[in-house]
Amino acid sequence: MELLHSGKVRDVYADGEDLILVASDRVSIYDVALPTPIPDKGRLLTALSLWWFEQLSDLVPNHVISATDVPAEFAGRAIRCRRLDMVPVECVARGYLTGGGFAEYQRTGAVSGVELPRGLVEASILPEPIFTPSTKAPKGEHDEPITYAEVVDKVGAETAERLRQITIDVYRRGAEIAADRGILIADTKIELGWTPDGTLILADELLTSDSSRFWPAESYQPGRTQFSFDKQYLRDWATGGGWDRQPPAPEVPAEVVEATRARYVEVYEKLTGNRWA
- pLDDT value of position 206: 98
% of the chain exceeding 70 in pLDDT: 98
The three-state secondary structure class of 149 is helix
pLDDT for the residue numbered 136? 85
- pLDDT-derived band at 190 (thresholds 50, 70, 90) equals very high
Residue 26 pLDDT exceeds 80: yes
- 143-161 pLDDT, tens digit each: 789 999 999 999 999 999 9
Taking residues 44-68, report their average pLDDT: 98
Task: Tell which wins on pLDDT, 8 or 160.
Answer: 160
Q: What are the residues whose beta carbons fall under 8 Å from the beta carbon of 19, sequence distance 6 or more?
A: 4, 12, 13, 80, 81, 82, 83
pLDDT computed for residue 175 by the predictor: 98
**pLDDT digits 0-9 by tens, 65-88:** 999 999 999 999 999 999 999 999
Sequence-distant (6+) residues with CB within 8 A of 235 are 29, 30
What is the rounded CA–CA span in Å between residue 228 and residue 262? 11
Q: Sorting pLDDT into bands at 50, 70 and 90, what band is 31? A: confident
- Report whether pLDDT(127) > 70: yes
pLDDT at position 140 is 58
pLDDT at 265 > cutoff 80: yes
**Average pLDDT rounded to a whole number, residues 259-274:** 97
pLDDT for the residue numbered 97 = 98
Query: What end-to-end distance do the CA atoms of the chain give, in Å?
Result: 29
Residue 141 pLDDT: 65
Query: What residues have CB less than 8 Å from 159, skipping those under 6 apart?
Result: 87, 200
State residue 219's pLDDT score.
Answer: 97
136: helix, strand or coil? coil
The predicted model gives 176-183 an average pLDDT of 98
| Angle between helix 41-55 and helix 254-272 axes, rounded to 10 deg | 20
The pLDDT value recorded for residue 143 is: 79
Ramachandran bin of 85, using left for φ above 0, alpha for ψ from -120 to 50, beta for the remaining angles? beta
pLDDT category, 138, cuts 50, 70, 90? low
Q: Check pLDDT > 90 for residue 277.
A: no
The average confidence (pLDDT) of the chain is 95
Q: Of the given ranges (106-110, 153-157, 232-236), which has the lowest mean pLDDT?
A: 232-236
